[in-house]
Structure 1
Amino acid sequence: MSMRYRTQAINKDGGEGETFIPDGLAVAVSSPLNPDQDTSASNPEQLLALAWATCLNATAQVIAPTGRRTAVRVEVELHDAAEGAGYEFHADAYLSVEGASAEQTEQVLAASHARCPVSKLLKDAATARVHAEPYAIS
């Protein structure tokens, strides 16, 4: 395996402050559990949703039939941990393919989920699921 790209993100502030890429992007963060949260800032739930939606849709666009648009939406919820202390994410990704049947969309979803690097990270997580849905422009 050869490395294609490498980045790093650094957070020195925890859930309030910022997370940044050295010499690059800085993202203000604020915990959704903080009643005074900065709603213009992001949080891990949103960042996970952004990463998975971007990766899964970029993969689907390579796999879907030529000329068919694809869309992915990801919902991430924060739950109390089922076992032990703390919390856990529940993540659901929904993929759609313009003009495709339900069966065709399922095929694109299965192939995309098997190939997407973020999906590969989440594939064994009991709280991460993928779904096909009809394409709708919104």
Structure 2
Amino acid sequence: MASRSPPAHPLNNQSGFNPEEMIALAWSTCFKATLDTILKEKGLNHLSYVDVTVDLHKEPEMPGYYFAVKGQAAIDNMSLDAANALVQEAHARCPVSKLIGAARSVSLKAVPYKLS
């Protein structure tokens, strides 16, 4: 997907997409598709959701910035332990997870399924 909107600058409120939004969109979309594929392969008819937040932080001891990327995934009608096993399996298979998963500022956890 290519964006024709000018990117937003991280230090002001200009319009456009910012890198945080693009990273969150890429990981949440890919991870959700991977998780749903695993559920289907296992014959499990469960709803799931994935939530990803990305925040820009200033490096504390050097020039520059870094992204703190936090992912949460939930599967309905499943224990947290069973959901966590599937979330970790999806994390190992998701192409975007493979790209960002080793970064020290990336976290992922299974959470209880709640309807909003």
Provide TM-score, normalisation by structure 1: 0.75
Q: Counterpart of 2:17 in structure 1: which amino acid?
A: S
Tell me the distance in 2 between the aligned counterparts of 1:56 and 1:27.
25
1:74 aligns with 2:52: yes
Residue 130 of structure 1: CA displacement? 0.4
1:102-117 mapped onto 2 (5 Å cutoff): 102-117=80-95
Query: Greater helix share, 1 or 2?
Result: 2
User: Aligned residues, how many?
Assistant: 113
Work out the CA distance in 2 between the residues paired with 1:28 and 1:61.
33
Identity of matched residues, %: 35
Unaligned runs of 5+ in 2: none
Structure 1 stretches of at least 4 aligned residues deviating more than 4 Å after TM superposition: none
Task: Name the residue aligned to 1:136.
Answer: 114
SS class of match (1:29) = coil
Instruction: Say which is worse superposed, 118-127 or 58-67, in terms of deviation.
Output: 58-67
TM-score by length of 2: 0.88
Larger Rg: 1
Structure 1 unmatched runs, 5+: 1-19
The higher relative CO (CA closer than 8 Å, separation ≥ 6) is in 2
Please provide the CA RMSD for this pair. 1.6
Counterpart AA for 2:81: E
Other-structure match for 1:37: 14
State the 1:54 CA deviation: 0.3
The whole-number CA distance in structure 2 between the counterparts of 1:91 and 1:127 is: 6
Shift, 1:124, TM fit: 1.2
Q: CA 1:37–1:27 in structure 2 vs 1: closer, same or farther (change >3 Å)? A: closer
Q: Tell which deviates more after alignment, 79-88 or 124-133.
A: 79-88
1:59 aligned residue: 34
